[in-house]
Amino acid sequence: MCMMDPLYIALSSYRRRKYDQCASLCTELLEKNPYDQAIWTLKMKALTEQVYVDDIEAEEEGMADAILDDDIIAQVPRPGTSLRTSSQVQRGVSQGQRPLTQTGRPLSGVVRPGTQTSRPETIEQALKTPRTARTARPVTSRSARSVRLGTASMLTEPGGPFIQISRLNLGKYAANPSIAKPLFEYLFYHENDVRHAMELAVQATEASLFKDWWWKVQLGKCYFVMGLMRDAEQQFRSALKWQQTVETFLRLARVYIRLDQPLTALDVCKTGLEYFPNEVTLTTEIARLFEGMNKITVSVKYYKDILKEDATHVEAIACIGMQHFYTDQPEVALRFYRRLLQMGVYNAELFNNLGLCCFYAQQYDMTLTCFERALNLATDEVIADIWYNIAHIAIGVGDCGLASQCLRLSLSADSNHAPAYNNLGVLELRRGHYEQARAFFQAAGCLAPYLFEPHYNHASLAEKMGDLQTSYIVIQKALEAYPCHTGSQELLNSLQRHFAFI
């Protein structure tokens, strides 16, 4: 009876994405022949695929990158040319129509790295609360795990690490592309050893006489992770001269985003569209950039172009639906969110949005059903926001007691939920409890100084209580958070006239 080749079984397992089975078979084969490079390479690829992630989408700026950034060209950039000053752009609509995050970016239809977190200016701000605490990207080596591999650096021991990285002869493998490329991906993704991966990429680039664009891209990835943006830019541009790929255009655009040059990033993406017309990933990056620059109308235009190419693009559908909701078109937004539900998206956030759309579209019979499902599916990260939105429903139907209870449930789930403190203050103000209302407004203002509502409410309350000096100080904070708020400007003018009269 003929037995099937074990190497063929391992290859079949790899192609069927059964990476654990493939790695186990390779381990058994390496015990019999530790120097078989084909099996060694296959096991490296299987282990890499187990932990591989799309690092373009998962890329996020760490705390150390945000604070110790010395690549900024202008400390005071021109309006409309920086993602960090996008909140200072004067807009004709009220901020209440579409809330902003602490970074000044409008709330996005989907949660992406960097869109819901702030950019701390100091270490104290970064570590102030759990909502703003951030973790720097790991760039240290994890090659301290050791096991004797033998003279060929390919021997394995049961229960031990696969490769002892510190004893690898990188120059030997760099000259062999069939082994060097899987080895680089193993070091970069599985071991997270950027230093050795970069050393391998440098030697492989030299071995290819600087003509292999793939190694230039990998070297740029290493520079990017280590924070060397200008070196990464040089490598990506050099790679584009040899070969134009979508990935390289995206990575180069991310370099300019990290350097806070969104206009240059837009030029890179538009150049990529000349080589790859109607490419969805490049169009998505352009839409995100315009959204980050508070140019929502232009962003929605590009999201609609995405749907012409890919009608099932979740991010485009969600972002267009959110824009319709915040432009007083809940019926149209409901159609987009129902489309997501039909596509199989089933989570608490979607049912929360469906509930809000049903309420403002006056479909009250579906509102409570959607919020009940949202609460059943909610995780610890979103349950506070769901109770906060249910409180809005209670306020809309006139049940202030239920609204107060929902807001307190929101705070029990997240004690740093500033909008809930602000709304509790408004409810206490309606009841005539001025001291409690002021305490809630102060708490909201301290937790979220980028929101203008707590400052404006606090200033109005202070004026009503006769504390004009406090009102004058707080209203200036409201104008710092949102300079073009008409109510804050009118209150400030009234206080200035009062002080002038005195």
Report pLDDT for 147: 29
Distance CA 116, CA 105 (A): 8
Distance CA 229, CA 227 (A): 6
Model pLDDT for residues 18-38, shown as the tens digit of each residue? 888 888 888 888 888 878 888
Compute the C-alpha angle 259/229/193, nearest 5°. Answer: 135
Q: How far is CA 149 from the centre of its chain?
A: 40
Report pLDDT for 295: 87
How does pLDDT run along the chain (502 residues), one tens digit per residue?
A: 446 788 888 888 889 988 888 888 888 888 888 788 888 888 888 888 888 887 777 655 544 454 455 555 555 566 666 676 655 444 444 434 566 665 555 666 676 655 554 444 444 544 444 343 323 333 333 333 222 233 334 444 455 566 767 677 777 778 888 888 888 888 888 888 888 888 888 888 888 888 889 989 999 999 998 888 899 999 999 999 999 999 999 999 999 988 888 899 999 999 999 999 989 999 999 999 998 888 889 999 999 999 999 999 999 999 999 999 988 899 999 999 999 999 988 899 999 999 999 999 988 889 989 999 999 998 888 899 999 999 999 998 888 899 999 999 999 998 889 999 999 999 998 888 888 989 998 898 888 887 888 888 888 888 887 777 777 787 777 777 667 667 767 777 776 666 565 5
pTM for this predicted structure: 0.79
SS3 106: strand
Q: Which residue, 397, 412, 450, is CA-closest to 424?
A: 412
Report pLDDT for 308: 92
Instruction: Match 């172009």 to its residue by tokens.
Output: 305
Report pLDDT for 237: 93
Model pLDDT for residues 120-162, shown as the tens digit of each residue? 444 454 444 434 332 333 333 333 322 223 333 444 445 556 6
DSSP code per residue over 413-460: H-TT-HHHHHHHHHHHHHTT-HHHHHHHHHHHHHH-TT-HHHHHHHHH
Residue 258 CB-half CA count within 13 A? 31
SS3 per-residue string spanning 185-213? HHHHHHCCCHHHHHHHHHHHHHHCCCCCH
Report pLDDT for 151: 34
Report pLDDT for 187: 87
